[in-house]
Amino acid sequence: MVVAAGQGLRAGQPLPKQFAVWRGKPVVRHSVEALAQAGIAPIVVAIPAGAEDVAGEALAGIAAVRLVTGGATRQQSVRQALEALEADAPSLVLIHDAARPLLPRAVTDRLLTALDSFSAAIPVLPVVDSLAQDNGGTMGAPADRSALRRVQTPQAFRYPAILAAHRAWRGAPSAGDDAQVAQAAGLEVALVEGDEALHKLTFAGDFAAGAPMIRVGTGYDVHRLAAGEELWLCGVRIDYSHGLAGHSDADVAIHALVDALLGAIGAGDIGQHFPPSDPQWRGASSDRFLRHAVRLVAEAGYAIANADLTIICEAPRIGPHRPAMRARLAELLGVDIGAVSVKATTTEGLGFTGRREGIAAQAAVSLVRS
């Protein structure tokens, strides 16, 4: 059984967190797939009222799944799912929170083994931090962490025993978990080793933490050289007979870098964020585009590790301007200058850059999860 009937509003997602995408698929699908791959069936999923369509889409193709509308509290949702299983009368049942998407097989095996000797078993982890009671904003008496454990799911039960315990539940309407319901009914609950992978997704930051540690993006841009235009490269104005033509200041190097940053976080390209058809960007400094991309990178939960830029042109010579270019890009990116590389090359007289008709630039960036 997978409990997915909550609202999950603290996660900051546009829909309940159990249906939000995490690591490429809806949160609820991760654990349901793990259970199905372990040969566990049927799998009853308790969902919010009216969520049949979104739940059906999130779990499409998993044959063992049955959907049950949950109740107003977690305990009520679990009881309704347990009642739905009565026709099958399984001997054992696992009850898992959808918000814990990673479900190691070893934990499931330990739980089921414990049911050979107990009516209930739960995975736990030790408390490693010091603990203290909150005494109205000041530190109260310390707590003995050696006797405390962090409780996780799935929790395993002999089915008849946990069904009877939920039917007999007379405690507060919002039992924290099913082990509390089992204990209130007089069941002895065994403790087995849990796993840090069973971390519960709760806040918006947890979804960012589910992203890869490192991401890479590349960008490429070209602008035509024209008389009467200013030449801007890497946010630095260069004295030259021609400048780059474009809707903005046509800083081809920054444009390539912006595309690399946007690509690394899957946020499209510069044209989507600053359309050439929009008059407000006519003549705009490309610094604005780069600051926008840097902000989006931070909002996605990443920091810039390094940026590597290559400018492709026959003229002007880039070497004399390289220190100023690196310094300006480092300022705009908010990184140390050592994380910025600016290189230049020619095409040996070949192509449009070789004919001095335009300048091209390509960029690569790496991001690390912040």
Do 110 and 203 lie in one domain? The reply is yes
Domain that holds residue 94: 2-209
pLDDT at 10: 47
pLDDT at 365: 98
Chain position carrying tokens 């004295």: 239
- Ranges in the chain, pLDDT < 70: 8-15, 172-173, 205, 208-211
Last residue of some domain: 209, 242, 267? Answer: 209
Q: How far apart are CA 17 and CA 26, in angstroms?
A: 9
Do 295 and 187 lie in one domain? The reply is no
Count the alpha carbons within 13 Å of 153 in the hemisphere toward its beta carbon: 24
pLDDT at 357: 96
Name 238's bridge partners: 231
3-state SS, residue 246: coil
Q: How far apart are CA 210 and CA 369, in angstroms?
A: 10
Q: What are the residues whose beta carbons fall under 8 Å from the beta carbon of 165, sequence distance 6 or more?
A: 181, 182, 184, 185, 187
Q: Which pLDDT tens digit goes with each residue over 160-172?
A: 999 999 999 987 6
pLDDT at 6: 80
Q: Which pLDDT tens digit goes with each residue over 128-157?
A: 998 888 888 999 888 888 889 999 999 999
pLDDT at 211: 63
Chain position carrying tokens 């408390």: 127
pLDDT at 11: 46
Q: How many domains does the chain have?
A: 2
Do 245 and 199 lie in one domain? The reply is no
Do 112 and 200 lie in one domain? The reply is yes
- Let me know the angle formed at the C-alpha of 176 by 175 and 178, rounded to the nearest 5 degrees: 75
Last residue of some domain: 165, 186, 209? Answer: 209
- Let me know the angle formed at the C-alpha of 196 by 191 and 201, rounded to the nearest 5 degrees: 110
3-state SS, residue 12: coil
Do 42 and 144 lie in one domain? The reply is yes
pLDDT at 303: 92
Do 148 and 223 lie in one domain? The reply is no
Do 167 and 57 lie in one domain? The reply is yes
Do 181 and 307 lie in one domain? The reply is no
The CATH number that applies at residue 43 is 3.90.550.10
Instruction: Give the start-end residues of each E strand in the chain.
Output: 2-3, 21-22, 25-26, 43-47, 65-69, 92-97, 120-126, 131-135, 138-143, 149-151, 155-158, 189-193, 214-227, 231-233, 236-238, 242-245, 302-312, 340-345, 358-369
Last residue of some domain: 190, 209, 228? Answer: 209
Q: What are the residues whose beta carbons fall under 8 Å from the beta carbon of 267, sequence distance 6 or more?
A: 273, 293, 296, 300
Do 277 and 204 lie in one domain? The reply is no
Burial class, 282, CB count within 10 angstroms (exposed 0-12 / middle 13-18 / buried 19+): exposed
Q: Which pLDDT tens digit goes with each residue over 180-217?
A: 999 999 999 999 999 998 989 887 767 765 567 899 99
